[in-house]
Structure formats: C-alpha cells, structure tokens
C-alpha cells in the first residue's frame, strides 16, 4: 500500500521524478562554472517556452506574486493609469499591486463564469490613455481562460503596455508572447512549468525594457528593481559570474531539467495534450450531473477545472472523503462563493491515469453521500473522449 496521496490541486503539481532528482544534487556555488552554465541555459530555454526570442528573461527566487510585483514596480509610476481585466481572485490581486505603486486603476470585472467582453475593453481603452493593461490568462480561482491574444492586440492598438499573468497558463495553454505582442508575461515555477515552488519567472519585451529605462523616478522596491537584476541575467546568459542576491541553486538545476523536457515535447504539442485531457475531464464531470464554473467551452481553462458541489452534498465532507481516498483536490477561492465549489488541477506532467483516479474517487464519494447517477459514467465518458479525440483537434 502506497503512503502518498495524488496531488491534484492547481499548483504545486505532481513533478516528474527527474526534476525531483535534480533538486537533490549537491548544492554548488552560485558562481561555479557548472551552475553558471545551467543558469545561462535556463534563460535561453525560457525564450523558447515563452516564444519570445528577443525577450529579456528574469529568474528570481520568489513566487508568482513576486513576478507580478516586479512588473508593476518597474513599469508604473505614481498617477499613471492602468486598466485591469479581472476574471477572478487574481485579477483583484493585480489591481491591489498596481495601486500599491501609485497607479490609478480602472477594473473591468467579469461576472462569475464569464470573461470580459472585448468590445467593453475597447470602449474603455477609447476613453483615456492607459500606461498599461493587465490581464490574467487563466485565473486559478475560477478556471476562466482569457483571450490574451485579442486583448493584447487591443492594448497595442491604443498604446498601452500589455502585462499577462500567466501563472496558471505558461507551458499549459497556447501562448506566443512575441507574436501576440505581449510586453510582460510572468509565471511561477510550481504550475505547468513543473518545478517545486520558489522561482518567479518573467519575460520582458524590448519595449517594456525601454519604458523602464525612461522612468522619471527610481523603482520603489529594492528587491524587485530591474536595475539590480538585469546585469545579473545578462551575465549568466553570457556565462559570466555575477551577484546581487543568491539564486535558488537547486531549483534552477531542476528548472533546466523541466524546461528541456517541455521543449522536447514541443510547445504546440504540450498545449494540445492539456486541451485533450481537460476536454475529456470536463465531459466526465458533466456526465454525472456536476456543473462547471465556466459557462462556455471557449472560456474554460485547460490547466484546471472549477466545479460546483452538488446542492445536496456537503462540500467540506466531500473534499475530506476524497482525501481519504488518497486524492487531494482544492477548495474554492473566490470569497463570495468559496464554499460552493472545488478545483482540480490538470497541468504539467498530468496523465490520463491521474484524471481517472480523480474521477474514480469523486464517483465513490458522491455515491457514498447519496448523489444519484450511473456508477462509472464519468470514467466511461472520459475514456471514450480520449479514444475518439478527433485528429483535426490536434492540428
């Protein structure tokens, strides 16, 4: 009998064994030649992952929230206007961060289960001159997928920098930073990138760097200031030793392993795999009468699912019993409805077998708690979807 549970929350995720093995390597100096090579290689690989060959990567010890903080601190000065597109909890966090640095923010909030209409975004952009537009590609609280490409096009049309929170999307959803004209994309290591928590990852466009260079005032955050970090990133990429703050040596060893694995799979193929598994999982969920938070397929993320508890079921008890079945899922995060839904992560190294385990545990607990449906239905629908997935959908 195994002594561990299957972790199926929207991050941290289940990690590949070779990534975890890299974490256990003997810690070396952060200016040792072998580490300089690894760090420099990671920075180069990230340009492929973000699809930003001319971008400037930053890899900093911290979380995805630090990456959000870095974007706001370096780009925004007091009184400048920022438009925030919010589809959940993390859109609100973006707003809080920009306001902390003195921004005058306008927030467009989507109704629960929906995205913000593009026409509404354009109407607001027409009314004023915004320094930046911030959006969440996949909001981890709702499982809503934003049309990042179209929103970035609007930002560019009206002269605003575009900032994308890709914490729950990068390396899981299709995202082409340079082709889509996105100025900043950021993420954390513990999501689809597939590395344990502890790294803030950010890719800045040439335009974003130029805007930062023209600031009138110093960046009001010492640790986040690109003036401290840019020379370090450039040095490592050029395979030269440098120092500002000690990097997370073992996490960066693990990052190299994971990034290489992602590149080997292929960015298009990886996004396709996530889409296929997510579609099959959603079909399995709805087949047993459960309701998803996203109201349409077009706005449903492929890296996690937000699912309402059946009205006749105690949600807290359901989660507890699923954990007793050796599967860990996440509770709700939106304050106004947090006790009405749960979340399942399906990103990174996730497999069909992992999602079948979730569906099996969920079915057993629902039946035990008296929810009526045909036993085995969700798993049968999942399998049928996987087996009959149209090849055209993977083109």
Q: What is the mean pLDDT of residues 280-307?
A: 98
The CA distance from 171 to 271, in Å, is 7
Q: Encoding tokens for residue 63?
A: 């979380």
> How is residue 324 written in tokens?
């007793």
Distances in whole angstroms, Cα of residue 240 to Cα of each of 32, 36, 44, 187, 199 = 10, 7, 14, 26, 21
Residue 344 has pLDDT above 60, yes or no: yes
Within the chain, residue ranges assigned H as helices are 17-23, 33-49, 64-75, 89-100, 118-127, 148-157, 177-180, 206-213, 226-237, 249-265, 267-287, 315-324, 352-368, 377-387
Where in the chain are all domains bearing CATH 3.40.640.10? 17-265
pLDDT at position 2? 62
Q: How sure is the predictor about 121, in pLDDT bands with cuts at 50, 70 and 90? A: very high
What tokens does 317 get? Answer: 């008890």
pLDDT (tens digit, 9 = 90+) per residue, 11-62? 999 999 999 999 999 999 999 999 999 999 999 999 999 999 999 999 999 9
> What Cα–Cα distance (Å) separates residue 28 from each residue in 40, 42, 106, 147, 247?
15, 17, 46, 42, 11
Q: How confident is the model at residue 395, as a pLDDT?
A: 43
- Which own/partner contact pairs does 307-312 have at CB distance under 8 Å and 24+ positions apart? 307/341, 307/342, 307/343, 307/344, 308/340, 308/341, 309/340, 309/341, 309/342, 310/366, 310/371, 312/370, 312/371
What pLDDT is attached to residue 138? 98
For the segment 90-103, the average pLDDT, to the nearest whole number, is 98
Cα–Cα distance, 237 to 233 (Å, whole number) = 6
What is 267-394's CATH number, 3.40.190.10, 3.60.70.12, 3.90.1150.10, 3.40.50.720? 3.90.1150.10
pLDDT per residue over 50-67, tens digit each? 999 999 999 999 999 999
Q: Is 3.40.640.10 the CATH classification of the domain at 17-265? A: yes
* Non-local CB neighbours of 241 within 8 Å, separated by 6+ positions: 31, 36, 235
Handedness of CA 257, 258, 263, 265 (dihedral sign): positive
Contact between 341 and 308 (Cβ < 8 Å): yes
Q: Who has greater pLDDT, 182 or 3?
A: 182
pLDDT for res 1: 45
The pLDDT value recorded for residue 393 is 56
∠ CA 102-108-109, rounded to 5°: 115
| pLDDT at residue 391 in the model | 67
Q: Which pLDDT belongs to residue 392?
A: 56
Q: What is the pLDDT of residue 3?
A: 74
pLDDT tens for 140-194 read 999 999 999 999 999 999 999 999 999 999 999 999 999 999 999 999 999 999 9
pLDDT band at 389 (very low <50, low <70, confident <90, very high): confident
Nearest to 46 by CA among 329, 212, 216, 267: 267
Q: Is-above-0.95 flag for pTM?
A: yes
Please, is 133 exposed, middle or buried when counting C-beta atoms within 10 Å of its C-beta (0-12, 13-18, 19+)?
buried
| C-beta of residue 199 within 8 angstroms of C-beta of residue 59 | yes
Task: Assign 390 a pLDDT band (cuts: 50, 70, 90).
Answer: confident
Rounded to whole angstroms, the Cα distance separating 59 from 61 reads: 7
Tell me, rounded to whole angstroms, the distance of Cα 93 from its chain centroid.
14
Is the predicted pLDDT of residue 358 greater than 60, yes or no? yes
Rounded average pLDDT over 212-231: 98
In this model, does residue 249 exceed pLDDT 50? Answer: yes
Q: Mind giving me the DSSP string for 64-87? A: HHHHHHHHHHHH--TT-EEEEEES
Please give the pLDDT value at position 4.
Answer: 86
Paired tokens of 45:
């690989």
Res. 267: pLDDT tops 60: yes
* Contact indicator for 38, 256 with CB cutoff of 8 Å: yes
Looking at the chain, the domain(s) classified CATH 3.90.1150.10 span: 267-394
């Amino acid at each position: 009998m195994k002594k561990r549970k299957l972790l199926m929350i929207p991050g941290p995720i289940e990690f590949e064994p070779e990534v975890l093995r890299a974490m256990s390597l003997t810690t070396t100096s952060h200016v040792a030649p072998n580490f300089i090579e690894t760090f420099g290689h990671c920075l180069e690989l990230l340009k492929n992952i973000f699809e930003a060959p001319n971008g400037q990567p930053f890899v900093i010890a911290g979380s995805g929230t630090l990456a959000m903080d870095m974007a706001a601190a370096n780009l925004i000065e007091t009184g400048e206007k920022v438009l925030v597109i919010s589809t959940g909890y993390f859109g609100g966090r973006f707003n809080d961060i920009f306001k902390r640095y003195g921004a005058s923010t306008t927030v467009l909030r989507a109704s629960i289960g929906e995205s913000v209409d593009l026409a509404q975004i354009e109407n607001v952009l027409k009314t004023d001159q915004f320094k930046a537009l911030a959006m969440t590609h996949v909001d981890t609280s709702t499982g809503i997928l934003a049309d990042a490409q179209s929103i970035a096009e609007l930002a560019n049309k009206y002269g605003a920098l575009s900032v994308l929170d890709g914490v729950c999307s990068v390396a899981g959803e299709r995202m082409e930073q340079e082709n889509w004209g996105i100025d900043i994309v950021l993420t954390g290591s513990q999501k689809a990138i597939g590395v344990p928590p502890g790294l803030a990852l950010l890719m800045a466009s040439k335009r974003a760097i130029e805007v930062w260079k023209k600031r009138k005032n110093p960046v009001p955050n010492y640790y986040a200031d690109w003036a401290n970090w840019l020379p370090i990133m450039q040095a490592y990429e050029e395979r030269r030793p440098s120092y500002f703050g000690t990097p997370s040596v073992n996490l960066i060893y693990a990052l190299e392993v994971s990034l290489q694995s992602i590149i080997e799979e292929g960015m298009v193929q990886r996004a396709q795999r996530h889409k296929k598994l997510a579609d099959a999982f959603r079909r399995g969920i709805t087949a047993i009468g459960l309701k998803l938070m996203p109201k349409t397929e077009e706005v449903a993320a492929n890296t996690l699912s937000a699912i309402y508890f059946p009205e006749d079921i105690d949600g807290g008890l359901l989660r507890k019993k699923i954990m007793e079945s050796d599967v860990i899922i996440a509770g709700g995060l939106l304050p106004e409805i947090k006790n009405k839904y749960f979340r399942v992560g399906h990103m990174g190294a996730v497999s069909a077998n992992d999602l079948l385990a979730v569906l099996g545990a969920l079915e057993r607990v629902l039946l035990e708690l008296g929810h009526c449906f045909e036993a085995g239905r969700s798993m049968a629908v999942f399998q049928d979807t996987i087996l009959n997935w149209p090849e055209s959908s993977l083109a």
